[in-house]
Amino acid sequence: MALERMASSSKNIKMFGDYTATKVVGAGSFTEVWEAKHTLHGNKVAIKDVNLQKLNKHLRECLDCEVNFLRSVNHPNIIRLLETMEVGDHLFLVLEYCAGGDLAAYIQRNGRVQEQVARNFMRQLGAGLQVLHTHHVIHRDLKPENLLLSTHDNDAMLKIADFGLCRYLSPEEQAKIVCGSPLYMAPEVLQFQKYDSKVDMWSVGAILFELLNGHPPFTGRSNCQLLQNIKSCTILPFPEVILADLHPDCIDICTKLLCQNPVKRLSSEEFLKHKFLSTT
């Protein structure tokens, strides 16, 4: 498909091939995400505009992994890649549109959620994550901002998105590049140690804790202080008022996800088999 990329400074409109984009809904150091519609059919999509010139070797490898993985899967809990277009030094990823925004905005609107709502989101996150790990892909940046929702409702479909830091990792391999978002980053990454897919499971634990409490489990004014707070913790910092309302299975799964020793931390397969997720 020939790609025409035009911009109107007055109306902030861009044309991406057959799509008309009218609003930037996200931006990073080398990407912009636009809300767009198919000019003929009117179907709403999200278009991720990647400036290839700004990518170093590591980020280009992550982008290649992202595109190859998304092209190879079709799962309800993983954002769907509809097509790609490349022109000059820009690559455009046309993705399914999620009207519910991201999980971070959901938590900001609703505060801490009931256990059943958290369980529903965790089941979906676990299902999508198992697909990644079966394909030997680690996400490395799981956080509420990168989990999209189909609607604003409590029963919304959750979709793992933003694979900009993902990489292929064979079972016998370990990664060593430090990347991700510190509040959801496993301690082995913060300590510059080699790591595997268990880093994603720590992030899942941090997200579950945030759903139940309204805030992440560990904070700090710097990465060093954050790591110190993690290492000094022997019992997860659930407030007593919240702890009293949680089922023991919920506390157990959260504890086994936020385990500082990655060998003892739950895998994605063990996570999905845990009693907390099998409870109705």
By annotation, the residues acting in catalysis are 141
Question: Element (H or E) spanning 59, and its range?
Answer: helix 57-72
Residue of 116, 250, 121, 136 whose CA lies nearest to 200: 136
Give residue for tokens 């992994």.
65
Alpha helices by DSSP H, listed for 176-215, are 187-190, 198-213
Rounded Cα gap, residues 21 and 3, in angstroms = 13
In sequence order, the 6+-apart residues with CB closer than 8 A to the CB of 251 are: 236, 238, 243
Number of Cβ within a 10 Å radius of residue 69? 21
Residue of 73, 61, 138, 145 whose CA lies nearest to 103: 145
Rounded Cα gap, residues 152 and 160, in angstroms = 16
